[in-house]
Structure 1
Amino acid sequence: MSGNDCDILVIGGGINGCGIARDAAGRGFDVVLAEQADLASGTSSASTKLIHGGLRYLEYYEFRLVREALTEREILWRMAPHIVWPLRFVLPHHGALRPAWLLRLGLFIYDHIGGRKLLPPTRVLDLRQDEAGKPLRNGFVRAFEYSDAWVQDARLVALNARDASNRGARIHTRTRVTGIRREGGRFRVDLRDGTTGADRNLSAAMVINAAGPWVEGVRRLLDGATGAPHVRLVQGSHIVVPKLFDHDRCYIFQNADGRIVFAIPYESDFTLIGTTDRDYAGNPAAVRITPEETAYLCEAVSGYFRKAVTPADVVWTYAGVRPLYDDHASSAQAATRDYVLEQEGDSTSGVAIHVYGGKITTYRRLAEAAMDKVEAVLGKRAPAWTAASALPGGNFPVDGLPALMKTLKARAPAVAETTLKRLARHYGMLALPIVASGSLGRIIGADLGENEVRHLVENEWALTAEDVLWRRTKLGLRFTAQETAALEDFLRTAGGATSNA
């Protein structure tokens, strides 16, 4: 580690940790981020992949959270139009559940409290006439259609880390914090490199614990801190099946148990279905979908679609653990998704900030709230800036994808349009150097070429096939075992993740 002193050590390479590191580095603070595994290897790559206000949170009177999240939708869309884009949601009216007047009221509030400017408003659909009604059972006649947005969640994390690094932050993946102690008003932190096994240490003026489901474990490392845990671990699981409908809208289905389930177009040929809410105990790294969750999701959507979905249809599953702040809610689904920042210590002993909860939609606002606490201790160096600054590759207008596609086609006419669109949606303007030679380089599998893999190794901390196939891209859905082995072979000779420097 070049230089062993910093202003801020951020522990955790999920969306909250990388968002804080980016904001702090952009304000002139010397930042080190340590992540025990790969970026977005936990909760941040296991979301439903939506930038949304959370319509159902209105039922729990979380108006501030919903308003803040709704405001963030268009900010994040402008920041990253390559990985964030609008999505229309179809909510069929189910006569036995919430009444139509309640849905109308909720959607009226949803349309008006978040400062919506670019996204279209709610409208009513006649499912007997609209294409959205074709995959549904005959009993559904009316639906409400409203706006939210889609996000490639793990890529959002990687791009925040990349921008933080561009602004001077030192990003260290596969680096575990093994000890933290206070010394002379600062923190002495022990680190272990998971790749080499080497131990090292650094001194930090402040520590920000954004370790997600591991937040309490990191907190206990700090001088053996004890006390009742403040985190409530809630498991959310998803299934992916062959696509169930041909249009590009998403469904949001109400269930008799009060939960909602989404059915979302996914990676062109699939439908993503989720999520569940169940309390979780155990190692967050070991979370897996249960047979009961799979059956629940299949049954939930089969109550709406003409064609029943069964566990045999599932081609992929994923599960994550949400590190929610324990507000002692009666059920996992009722637990708050709002974020809580707990501060301990003072300027003489050293200040640590522990991050609980939060939604991927509000990560940027969470980072600003964390910076308010940082500046109260270390002083203000520059104003807040992230709302008006594009993430890497996102320096084009929200309606600029067709122009980017035209440029990519001119640069690489021999590359299939579907591949160029995937590259544009993953990398934005940074897709241009990937196809600078007019090709993708040698194809390893599906439409993944060596040029793209080198980009991920050199710029996004990718080291393994899993990093590439299941976080930076979702090409694992299309790769064979033989192609995955070939990718691993190529990564072993690709020169290592130079972006870790």
Structure 2
Amino acid sequence: MSAEIFDICVIGGGINGCGIARDAVGRGYSVCLAEMNDLASGTSSWSTKLIHGGLRYLEHYEFRLVREALRERELLWANAPHIIRPLRFVLPHHAGLRPAWMLRLGLFLYDHLGGRKLLPPARSLDLHQDPAGKPLKADYVRAFEYSDCWVDDARLVVLNARDAADRGAAIHTRTAVTAARRDGDCWRITLQEKDTGRESEIAARLLVNAGGPWADRVLSLSDQEGGEGEEGHRIRLVQGSHIVVPRLFAHDRCYIFQNTDGRIVFAIPYEGDFTLIGTTDRDYEGDPGDAAITPEETAYLCAAVNDYFRTPVTADQIVWSYAGVRPLYDDGASAAQEATRDYVLRRDGGDGGTPALVNIFGGKLTTYRRLGEAVLDHVEDVLGARGPAWTRRAALPGGDFPVTGFDDLVARLSADHPYLVPTHARRLARLYGTAAWDLLEGGEAALGQHFGADLYAAELRHLVAREWAATGEDVLWRRTKLGLRLSEAEQNAVADAVAELRAALPNRP
């Protein structure tokens, strides 16, 4: 690596870093990305997993953010119709909280701000007549229903990285940046492999800090102060936690519940047999990698949904929980839930031969592609334009089929591979799209060892060889969510198999 000078080095393998790397290499820049752990191992896999405009941001007057996110919603769905799908959200009217007229007005704006075309509009529901009212307490008579989208967040990250690598980017996972210094018109960047401790040095003409909650740590590695300057580089760390319980309702719609503290909590169908409940908002201090759900957050989430559901949710029902830290730009908001979800870019250098550093603060899954374009505006200003913006209409790997054609894709996969049970075919189509045919090359005989649920060796080989999976956790909790279905012994067998595959593929992927 040390022999090559890259145009751009991106630090951070979350959604922003991988999206920037993809956009940049597609425009003709040479790109190296370094991630200290696994792709999407931080904030990007601990979200509520929504592609949405952010209905509640309207009451904080963040119209620009909501408009941009709503415009991105259907674009992203069209580019990745395997990992993104439309959902309908049921918002019960809670007497004593936001009045019905305010909800109607907010949903009218939500329907018309972002150029909605394919997603159905909002409507009113009689909860005593509609099936969505059955799981709710009888006190809730009226609701509003609107559209947003679901996304497999960790897979969104990996597919951006895969596309970037296929276009020529160097993607280095489990590789920490331990130092970065300016040397003439380049950055000299020291990389250290996590598994071996081996160090190497690369050079880059421009450095992008996409470290997320670790952005200030990245700044401390360079010769930048980070917290100084007229406007400052400020990150507010906010923890969001989620719980997963057995399925709470039979239909496929989601609920968005208002709480008396002004927050909202979602209850979302998850992985077929479960319900995902979240999220919390609490300020966080310490290492973002140590974030874990607290007993208080668990109690809060249970109490929030129990105000609505007929059958109470209790802590002993929880089959999995997760917590992550959002790196929000500190806009001085008094409460964590009021802090802006918008992104802020800060550039240092890039004039007079000084190599530039572009820092990213804040952001959300839905606007990652637009954030990438905004970063590339800085790149072009410093390095000169190489190629046009292109990601708006470009499918992610596996997403090259019609936006409404997922069921047809499943049918074709099942017809070509009739040995797959329907749930297995649907899961592979949902995770890999048209790339499922590559995974299944060789047919039933090539599936190999069965590890439990519908996980076979062929899928492990694909994940190690093509998607940077390096541990059982990478496979079971990020590339898939099969950790919910495998026993501890089965999970250990997956970890052992992944280690063997990695040893056999030293130059992965």
Q: Which residue of 1 aligns with 2:260?
A: 256
Q: Among residues 304, 307, 311, which one is paired with 1:303 in the alignment?
A: 307
Q: Which residue of 2 aligns with 1:429?
A: 434
Q: Which residue of 2 aligns with 1:154?
A: 154
- How far is the alpha carbon of 1:500 from its aligned partner? 4.3
d(CA) in 2 for partners of 1:275, 1:406: 35
d(CA) in 2 for partners of 1:492, 1:329: 46
User: Does the CA-based 8 Å contact 1:460-1:499 persist in structure 2?
Assistant: no
Q: Which moved more, 1:159-168 or 1:346-355?
A: 346-355
Q: Give the aligned residue type for 1:486.
A: A
- How far is the alpha carbon of 1:225 from its aligned partner? 2.1
After TM superposition, the structure 1 = structure 2 runs for residues 226-241 of structure 1, keeping only pairs within 5 Å, are 227=227, 230-241=234-245
Q: Give the aligned residue type for 1:167.
A: R
- How far is the alpha carbon of 1:442 from its aligned partner? 2.1
SS in 2 for 1:341: strand
d(CA) in 2 for partners of 1:434, 1:185: 44
d(CA) in 2 for partners of 1:441, 1:77: 33
- How far is the alpha carbon of 1:59 from its aligned partner? 0.5
Q: Among residues 481, 488, 507, which one is paired with 1:481 in the alignment?
A: 488
Q: Give the aligned residue type for 1:487.
A: V
- How far is the alpha carbon of 1:310 from its aligned partner? 1.0
d(CA) in 2 for partners of 1:14, 1:211: 8
SS in 1 for 2:429: helix
Query: Deviations for 1:227-260, whole angstroms, at most 9, x for unmatched residues?
Result: 3551000000000000100100000000000000
Q: Give the aligned residue type for 1:63.
A: F
d(CA) in 1 for partners of 2:100, 2:412: 47
User: Does the CA-based 8 Å contact 2:84-2:149 persist in structure 1?
Assistant: yes
Q: Give the aligned residue type for 1:10.
A: V
Q: Which residue of 2 aligns with 1:202?
A: 202
After TM superposition, the structure 1 = structure 2 runs for residues 284-363 of structure 1, keeping only pairs within 5 Å, are 284-347=288-351, 348-363=353-368
TM-score, normalised by the number of residues in structure 1: 0.98
d(CA) in 2 for partners of 1:23, 1:498: 28
d(CA) in 2 for partners of 1:289, 1:37: 21
Q: 1:38 to 1:115 in 2, by over 3 A?
A: same
Quote the RMSD (CA, aligned, Å).
1.1
Q: Give the aligned residue type for 2:469.
A: A
d(CA) in 1 for partners of 2:487, 2:271: 17
User: Does the CA-based 8 Å contact 1:342-1:354 persist in structure 2?
Assistant: yes
Q: Which moved more, 1:224-233 or 1:440-449?
A: 224-233
Q: Which residue of 2 aligns with 1:490?
A: 497
Q: Give the aligned residue type for 2:499.
A: R
Q: Give the aligned residue type for 1:73.
A: R
SS in 1 for 2:181: strand
d(CA) in 1 for partners of 2:152, 2:507: 21
Q: Give the aligned residue type for 1:421.
A: R
Identity %: 64
Query: Deviations for 1:21-47, whole angstroms, at most 9, x for unmatched residues?
Result: 000000000000000000000000000
TM-score, normalised by the number of residues in structure 2: 0.97
After TM superposition, the structure 1 = structure 2 runs for residues 25-44 of structure 1, keeping only pairs within 5 Å, are 25-44=25-44
Q: Give the aligned residue type for 1:138.
A: A
Gapped regions of structure 2 (runs ≥ 5): none
Q: Which residue of 1 aligns with 2:64?
A: 64
Q: Which residue of 1 aligns with 2:73?
A: 73
Q: Among residues 413, 416, 421, which one is paired with 1:416 in the alignment?
A: 421
Q: 1:499 to 1:22 in 2, by over 3 A?
A: farther
Q: Which residue of 1 aligns with 2:122?
A: 122
Gapped regions of structure 1 (runs ≥ 5): none
Q: 1:226 to 1:380 in 2, by over 3 A?
A: closer
User: Does the CA-based 8 Å contact 1:338-1:359 persist in structure 2?
Assistant: yes
Query: Deviations for 1:331-351, whole angstroms, at most 9, x for unmatched residues?
Result: 100000000010011332210
d(CA) in 1 for partners of 2:508, 2:211: 19
d(CA) in 2 for partners of 1:194, 1:207: 21
